Amino acid sequence: MRTFFITLTIALLATGCSRADSASTDTRAGTPSIKEARSPTLPASYSALRKRLLLDGWLPLQNAGCAEDAGRPLACNRWLELQRCDADGRCSMAWGDAAGRLVMEVQVSGMPTRDGGEVRTADLKLIGSQQAPVADAPSDAPTCPGTDFATFLPAFAAQSAVRQAFTAPLVRAKVLISDGDGDRTETVYVRGNRPDVFDVVYRGGAFHHVGVDGIDPAPLPLDIRQPSANLREVSYLYGSSEGRGFRFRLRDGCWYLTGNPQPTGP
């Protein structure tokens, strides 16, 4: 049996795409539900609903533990929004709206019980859906370290509470899917509280890389660029090939981590 891997990299869509930027800049009320936006009734087929959501700017909300929670790694590759499944083939999917302010959970049936070829041809049926706004920062969240980015970034990298408070609840991401069809990248949302959203720490007067083996004691040079007054792009190279970049946007009086304009290196 082939082994399937999903490698997470955080990636913001191109600045010129208005839908992408709306996830971090739109301050209007939440996007209308799919029922309100398109039709008074939902389609019976999940594939029809999925196409409709993508057209309306919604993105799959990826679950990092999908393979374990659903028990079907291949299905996790086909449906990046898959969250978990029961033994009888009933599953839960999750989506984030274009503004990054609503999460829709969708219940489906008909998922094959075996993670094999049946997954490729499965026709899932829609059971129901519900929406909820993303959680706001807690009332006791720390105050902004400052609008001067040179002051903000060390505090953001040094204090977990600051990172949690000033990371968007839904972060646009690029994921690399490797399966029997080869490699491809897809755009999804990931939750901002995932520990792998930001893998840099600041201590002892320097930035350091955080990997599976812990914190690298060697200082990590960062390349910080200013595409515009309200944007900062931070990137690094680590080792011989692995690199990463992060995008911060100034909004509501502080900087927020909203994405990553640069995929992880090979």
* SS3 label, residue 133: strand
Domain-by-domain residue ranges, the chain?
5-133, 149-168+198-259
101-129 pLDDT, tens digit each: 999 999 999 999 877 668 878 899 999 99
Strand partners, 94: 105
Query: Which runs of E-coded beta strand occur in the chain?
Result: 5-10, 59-60, 82-85, 91-96, 102-109, 125-133, 170-179, 182-191, 200-203, 206-211, 214-215, 223-228, 231-238, 242-251, 254-259
pLDDT value for 183: 81
Assess whether pLDDT exceeds 90 at residue 7.
no
String of DSSP letters for 195-259: TTS--EEEETTEEEEEETTEE-SS----EEEEEETTEEEEEEEETTTEEEEEEEEEETTEEEEEE
Q: What's the burial of 178, exposed, middle or buried (CB within 10 Å: 0-12/13-18/19+)?
A: middle
pLDDT value for 35: 44
The pTM of the full predicted model, rounded to 2 decimals, is 0.77
pLDDT value for 241: 61
Assess whether pLDDT exceeds 50 at residue 187.
yes
For 63-90, letters b (16+ CB in 10 Å) and e give beebbebbbbbbbbbebbbbbbbeeebe
35-94 pLDDT, tens digit each: 443 344 678 899 999 999 999 999 999 998 999 999 988 899 899 999 999 988 999 999
Task: Give mean pLDDT, residues 6-11.
Answer: 40
The Cα 261–Cα 133 span in angstroms is: 26
Assess whether pLDDT exceeds 70 at residue 11.
no
**In the structure, what pLDDT confidence band is assigned to residue 215 with cuts at 50, 70 and 90?**
very high
Assess whether pLDDT exceeds 60 at residue 247.
yes
Contacts (Cβ under 8 Å, ≥6 apart) of 215: 201, 203, 208, 209
Contacts (Cβ under 8 Å, ≥6 apart) of 16: none
pLDDT value for 168: 94
**CA–CA–CA angle 50, 171, 151 (5° rounding):** 170
Q: Which residue has the higher pLDDT, 175 or 248?
A: 248
For 110-131, letters b (16+ CB in 10 Å) and e give ebbeebeeebeebebbbbebeb
pLDDT value for 50: 95
